[in-house]
Structure 1
Amino acid sequence: MADNNSLVGGQSLMRKINYRVILVQVLVMMFLSINFLLIITFFMKHFFYTTMRYILFATTLLSDCLILIVTNILLILNYFPFIIPTWLCVIMCIILSLYNFVTPVTLTAMTLERYVAICMPLQHAELCSTRRTLHCILMIYGLSSIPCIINFSIFFASATNNFFTQDRICSVEIFILQRWQGHVRSAVSQFYFLIMCITIVYSYIKIMKVAKAASGENKTSTWKGLRTVILHAFQLLLCLIQLWCPLIESAVLQINFMLFINVRYFNYITFNLAPRCLSPLIYGLRDEMFFHALKYYAVCGLYKSHLIN
């Protein structure tokens, strides 16, 4: 009788997990399709890939696509336990660690671009030129790689050669060999959280002052820029909370394993997938020029936008 109950409970758990995985696959495929369409639209018009805000927007789209693909692979590997070589897991987690920071750092750069456009309009053309944009992207990747370098340098210094020859279920937690390593990772994430929050708040306050002093068309444009910054701030908040998720999950893991599974799934949906659907909203729908171009290419040229013509 106990065996039957165990079997029923196991089947119920597997059915629940399958529903969860199917839901994630639907969301991931939907977001990837939207992002790929936005990326195609970006490359179809010269103005977009020569303008800083659109180049940074495309950077976030590419980052989001890579994160969605890698995290989805890891989710499948963990829910249907597949054992892979440790070296392959290391590569996947390094990519994930890097791009987890690329998106929020890029969003911070996009907020600063709006700050320059609204508060320093005369210097905007010089400060946000295509050449400076490329330098900005290099800085974004440089800043985003620092936490990854710190965390994995500590891991490589602590791990033995035997660790890399084993096959195991891939998870970020396997690279935290000592509790203090988790504290270091958390401290670095919180430092980035603080710096980016200060940047967002400073930009918001400065743009708010300009918005109150502006008049006519400038006032309308400024308030639109302010709303964009608010959306960036909300998206950035979700991304930054994601940096705290490993600390929360590691604490929950000490309490109950099934609770850990549920919390991790909730965090993945709320703080990983949700921020990736805001980028299309901010620039794919709210930006008039990009929206007309997107609509044009989405229907294969049947829609004749006057901006395209």
Structure 2
Amino acid sequence: MLYSLLANVTANLDPGPEAYEKILFGLFIVISICSFFYINCVLLFTLRSKPVFCEKSRFILLFNLLFADTFQQVPNLLLYILACFNMKIPFDACGFLVLLCLATDLISPLTLAVMSVERYVAICLPLRHATIFTVSSTGMVIAVVWAFSFIHILIRVFMLVHTFTIIPFNPHMNDFCSKEAMFFAPIFNDFEKVYASILFVSVGLAIIGSYVGVALVATSASTDKASARKVLQTLLLHLIQLCLVLTSSMFSTIIIVIARTVRRLTIVRIYNVCFVFLSILPRCLSALIYGLRDQTIRPVLMHNLCCGGRTSAFPQQEPVTI
């Protein structure tokens, strides 16, 4: 995110209505992040509260997706607050926060791809689903996903070390902490374009392929129409979520282009709106897609959100697959 641009713009706003609007925007974003963070944490607790959630692959994959999205919200919020208050931090501290954001940046799209394939197998190959997606195989897939994320971080770190062999290293940052301030060399721009393109194409093909496969099988007379329809809706939501997550990688470029033609306050407004819809919302859609739509999770989640109220604790009937 272009936190440095936000800090430079908001630092020059004069006291008055514009300053109050800036404060309201900031409060809205902080409250939004905290609210989604609370819901995600409750859903994470819910997914560990019943044995069935620890034994089915789709719930294990959902836990991994939610953990990565929830984990990323914390450093994102810290970077946003630092930019709003125009606070500069040492290069090492900035690098730590930025790498925390990037550590789970790859987890969400890859997990979405695996979850889509799992839903495809559940509908198109129901007899083989239990043998393909076991607890151990799901754990191995999650380990591979995190390994790819770790490799992604190592590549960036090696590129950064190579950059500082060419130019002198300055431990005191001249700009506000952001991904752009950390990875400022032109080589990182090329890496970002290749990385985003490969990720979007590969994960997009996995989700679209799963959607087409389920759609074709849904026309069969022997297929459960209700289950297939819910899976198609879930895969479509996964594709929308993927587009939002990958669009956020182009956020900086969009803001820089807009900043050349509009007023400073307009930049702040656009930045905050994009931050909510491109950075926060995609990381919180999982709680809405599964927490509210899944008939197994929803009663337990509502029970936990209500702090143990009189909500029905757990359904006895077999849930409808999504």
Is TM-score (shorter-chain normalized) higher than 0.5? yes
Say which of 189, 193, 207 aligns to 1:186. Answer: 193
Aligned length: 302
Say which of 285, 309, 312 aligns to 1:304. Answer: 312
Which stretch of the first structure deviates more once superposed, 177-186 or 93-102? Answer: 177-186
**1:238 is the counterpart of 2:283:** no
Distance 1:71 1:122, change over 3 A: same
- Structure 2 CA distance, aligned partners of 1:149 and 1:249? 28
Distance 1:176 1:254, change over 3 A: farther
- Structure 2 CA distance, aligned partners of 1:163 and 1:123? 56
TM alignment of 1:53-132, pairs within 5 A: 53-132=58-137
Shift of 1:265: 2.4
* 1:222 aligned partner: 228
Shift of 1:89: 0.7
Shift of 1:47: 0.8
Shift of 1:173: 1.0
* 1:152 aligned partner: 157
Q: Which runs of 5+ in 2 are unaligned?
A: 1-11, 318-322
CA deviations on 1:79-103 (whole Å, 9 max, x unpaired) are 1111211101101111111212211
* 2:275 aligned partner: 268
Which stretch of the first structure deviates more once superposed, 151-160 or 162-171? Answer: 162-171
- Structure 2 CA distance, aligned partners of 1:82 and 1:98? 23
Shift of 1:179: 2.6
The 8 Å contact of residues 38 and 280 in structure 1, kept in 2 or not, is answered as: yes
* 2:25 aligned partner: 20
Counterpart of 2:57, as a letter, is M
- Structure 1 CA distance, aligned partners of 2:257 and 2:290? 37
CA deviations on 1:203-246 (whole Å, 9 max, x unpaired) are 11111001111446x12211111111111111112112112223
Shift of 1:255: 6.3
* 2:219 aligned partner: 212
* 2:4 aligned partner: none
* 1:4 aligned partner: none
- Structure 1 CA distance, aligned partners of 2:311 and 2:123? 32
- Structure 2 CA distance, aligned partners of 1:166 and 1:233? 38
Identical aligned residues as a percent: 25
- Structure 2 CA distance, aligned partners of 1:295 and 1:254? 47
- Structure 2 CA distance, aligned partners of 1:14 and 1:118? 54
The 8 Å contact of residues 51 and 130 in structure 1, kept in 2 or not, is answered as: yes
Please state whether the residue corresponding to 2:312 is helix, strand or coil. Answer: coil
The 8 Å contact of residues 147 and 188 in structure 1, kept in 2 or not, is answered as: no
Higher normalized helix content (fraction of residues):
1
- Structure 1 CA distance, aligned partners of 2:262 and 2:180? 16
CA deviations on 1:113-168 (whole Å, 9 max, x unpaired) are 10111112122111111111111111111223343333332122112563235575
- CA RMSD, Structure 1 to Structure 2 (Å): 2.4
- Structure 1 CA distance, aligned partners of 2:83 and 2:49? 38
Q: TM-score, normalised by structure 2?
A: 0.85
Q: Which runs of 5+ in 1 are unaligned?
A: 1-6
Counterpart of 2:233, as a letter, is R
Please state whether the residue corresponding to 2:89 is helix, strand or coil. Answer: strand
**1:170 is the counterpart of 2:182:** no
Q: TM-score, normalised by structure 1?
A: 0.89
* 2:146 aligned partner: 141
Counterpart of 2:310, as a letter, is L
CA deviations on 1:40-91 (whole Å, 9 max, x unpaired) are 1111101102211111111121112122111111001011111211101101
Which stretch of the first structure deviates more once superposed, 276-285 or 143-152? Answer: 143-152
- Structure 2 CA distance, aligned partners of 1:233 and 1:207? 14
The 8 Å contact of residues 300 and 312 in structure 2, kept in 1 or not, is answered as: no
